[in-house]
Amino acid sequence: MSSGERMVDEGESLKNSVEIQGISRAFWACVVTLVSFSLGSLLLMFWLTSAMTSDGLRVNMSGRQRMLTQRLVAMAYASSGRSEADPRSAVIRDEWTAAWERLGEGAVPIDQPTHYAAAQVSYNNVVAALSTTDTTASIDRLDTVAQRFVSDLDALTSALASTESRHVVRLRLVQGIFTAALIAMLLLLHRFALRPTLRNANTMVVAQRLLNAQLSTANDALATSTDELEQQNERLREQRHSLQESEEELRAQQVTLLDQRAQLENAAVVLNRFAGALDATPDYVIMVALDGTVVYANPAAQASIRNVSRHRGRHLLRYLGRDDARRVQAEIVPEAMQCGVWQGELTLRPSSTVEHHANVTIMAQRDRFGYTDVFVVIAHDMRAEHDLRQSLAGREALHRAVIDSLVEGVVVQDREGKIITWNQSAARILGLSNEQLAGRTSYDEGWEATYADGRPLPGDEHPISRARLLGESVDAFQMRVSAQPGHLRHLSVNARPMFMNDLDDRPGAVASFSDVTAEVALSEEMRRLSLIVKQSDYAVTITDRESRITWVNDAFTSLTGYQEAESIGQPANRLRSGVHSAPESLARMREAVERGESLVEELLSYRRDGTPYWAEVAITPLRDAQGTLTGFVSLSRNVTARRVADRERQTLAAALAVTADGIAIVDAAGALEFTNEALTRQLGVTADDLQGRLWLSLYDQPTALSLTSHVRQSVTPLGFWNGEVEARRENGTEFPQELSITALPHGGMVVVVRDISDRRQAVDHLRFLSTRDELTGLLNRRGFMEVSRPVLAGALRAGQPCALLYGDLDQFKQINDKYGHGCGDRALQEISKILVATFRTEDVVARLGGDEFTVLARGLTPADLPALLLRLEQTVAAHNARRSGDPTGDWRLGLSLGVAYAKAGDAENFDALLKRADAEQYLVKSERRRRSAA
């Protein structure tokens, strides 16, 4: 290439570089402009979105304020007639105030200053009106200003909604402008930056390729001439070196051949030895290809596996069990290929009828490229080991069964002193689970081991520790352990050292032990019983089979007066009976002895000095372990006092049985010891049903609590209480009782029960007659005063008003004079029925005397009175219409009523209220006379 061409090319390159720099600056200017415009648009959209959100929240808050305002007005109307304000109004008013404050938070919208100012003025007016709502006018004013406030809120809401709509339009406009501007900027960027840049880049690439082609042509020509010269020189040098190398190669090949010959001879020796080892080993050695075919089998494999030498190329899986064949394909071969070796146990089938287990090693052999080409399988026949293992397992199971069947506990410790095995009897005797026994030592403080006398037993002195550490044999060692709280056991322990083999110098130990807790307890019980028998208050006599005395205790001497020396060898009945002893009792005792049976008999006996006494004699036969009768033991006690007490008790029971009052004896625990027939008749039960039953269970819970209080406050300190209670029969009916309770000196009580149902009915009937009007059946003056006073007081305490109506029958004197007192009484009865039918059941209706009637109506207000009086007048008019033409007398009923009201806080009493009602009734009658005269 000439210098002029090179200058032209350099000029073109410089021109292209300048153009690329200009395009780059234009590209980055477009990018900066695009980013700035995008950020500005995003900020504007964010501001518009925030304004829309704020306007939406204010619209919602305005609607909430409107609803709360209407609720406040409604609650003001609802509470106008009440003495107390509704507590919910304060909560709603606080919520209403807070809602207005949240509505006014932040700057007032620029487009609605007038609406917001008008709403603020209306809000202040509503606040001022809410402060005074005690009158109807103030509530009406509150309703007016609230309606104005609601109208201003609606106007403000409409303005806020229109502002929100404008913001939505602006936001959509900004989004459209932003999208259009973005598209325009991207088009300009592509037109003025990207396209020129790509065009200039392509031009420069083409020019560079032309220049490279020219330089390559020149270099090729120069290299061709140089290579031709060098090739000639190289051919000469190569010919010389080739001759020298040929000579050296021949010498090296000679040496290599000699080395290879020696290595082959050594390898042949090794292979012969390896082949001999393979032929001599009893294990199966098989070489298997990747496809599972057998390519080699040693003599042991050929001899054991059927015709394996004639079936080379057959699949190895033919000689495996079905499950193991699948396992080899799915798991073992991949593992051997990955790890290089696999070891485990497989089932071989050397013939169609024989299967046995083998310990198999599979090794993957790799070629020089690292890929697996064959597998070497070494299988060790485990039939002998398997048979030996089964034999050992059978013997071990037999030994384990023998040990587990032992009643004695057996534990084995290793040379470290830890328990390694045990039988179930050991766990049962010690009260421990298998997990708690495993690994424990004799030094564990949890055993709480002691000698038989209670002294602590150190771990080194434990029998099994002595056998393990000292090699001693220990027999019948008595000790106590408490492996669990409350599980103390007395043990008799035998221990022996246990060597694992002849060379073992550190033996373990085995110990067997039996639970002798019962034997120890029996021995202790026998010792205590012997002491108890000697010191017993019962006279104890032991005789042989012929009833001759062989042993007596001190109580026998005290009871009979006979000493032990003069009693031994004497017939037992001779020392018991006397002149007046019952022959039939003696005969029953002789018969029981002859039959070898037990007997309890009461016998009149005589002391050595001739003093008679009643004795209770219990005879029990004694038998040995084979059940042979060896003698008798008899227990005797003096029951003379009891016989006297029983006779007195029978006399007393006979007297109690005929009394009309129920009588019960209650022990210190509150259970019934004795009940007479009168009490069982009252309660409708039998004496057996009451025996041992808790006395208070005869009453309901409130009555039982009241009786408990009376017993505690009166019977215990004073010894007596009398009162009336409500009792319950077995069938559930209740009746009144009069109780008299007297404390007994040594605990318990005597309860005398009297059924006072007849007396209570008589008293109730007298009380009813004293409070009722005999003619009408209504309350009389006394009954009205007793009933009405508490009713009025309770109503006033509950905040309820009451109305007292007082009146008399119109023209009652004329009815009596004209038609007779019978018609007058009938008029009084009929007006009483009308009053009872007109008023409620809870209202108190009474006849005070003559033709005067009164009614106490609870909860009746002045507003309710006109409707009530109208209903009463209509009932009286209907009654008069039905009586029209009555042959007994054409008289008409009429009633003049005066009303007095009482409400909570009134200081006047019931008598003053009655006087006011009487005065009102007088005014009503006067007004009626005046209208009649007019």
Q: Is 84 helix (H, G, I), strand (E, B) or coil?
A: coil
Q: Letter for the amino acid at 584? A: E
Please answer whether residues 770 and 782 qualify as being in contact, where contact means their C-beta atoms are separated by less than 8 angstroms. yes
Q: Is 861 helix (H, G, I), strand (E, B) or coil?
A: coil
Please answer whether residues 61 and 157 qualify as being in contact, where contact means their C-beta atoms are separated by less than 8 angstroms. no
Partners of 721 in the beta sheet?
A: 741
How far is CA 70 from each of CA 65, 74, 126, 256, 880, rounded to the nearest angstrom? 9, 6, 11, 117, 53
Q: 55, 810, 851, 918: which one is catalytic?
A: 851
Closest by Cα among 654, 652, 679, 653 to 664: 679
How many angstroms separate the CA atoms of 420 and 498, rounded?
13
For strand 599-606 and strand 284-289, is the pairing parallel, antiparallel, or unpaired? unpaired
Name the token pair of 799: 């905040």
Q: Is 851 helix (H, G, I), strand (E, B) or coil?
A: coil
DSSP string of 434-499, one letter each residue: HHHHTT--TT-GGG--EETTS-B--GGGSHHHHHHHH---EEEEEEEE-SSTT--EEEEEEEEEE-
Closest by Cα among 857, 842, 745 to 806: 857
Is position 86 annotated as part of the catalytic site?
no
DSSP string of 913-927, one letter each residue: HHHHHHHHHHHHHHH
Please answer whether residues 415 and 469 qualify as being in contact, where contact means their C-beta atoms are separated by less than 8 angstroms. no
How many angstroms separate the CA atoms of 68 and 81, rounded?
21
DSSP string of 366-387, one letter each residue: E-TTS-EEEEEEEEEE-HHHHH
Residue 503 backbone phi and psi in degrees, to 5 = -95, 0
Rg of the chain over Cα atoms, rounded to whole angstroms, equals 63
Q: Is 672 helix (H, G, I), strand (E, B) or coil?
A: strand
Please answer whether residues 637 and 537 qualify as being in contact, where contact means their C-beta atoms are separated by less than 8 angstroms. yes
For strand 539-543 and strand 662-666, is the pairing parallel, antiparallel, or unpaired? unpaired
Q: How far out from the chain centre does Cα 524 lie? A: 48
Scan for tokens 């009891």, then name that residue.
642
**DSSP structure class, residue 416:** T
Residues forming the active site: 851
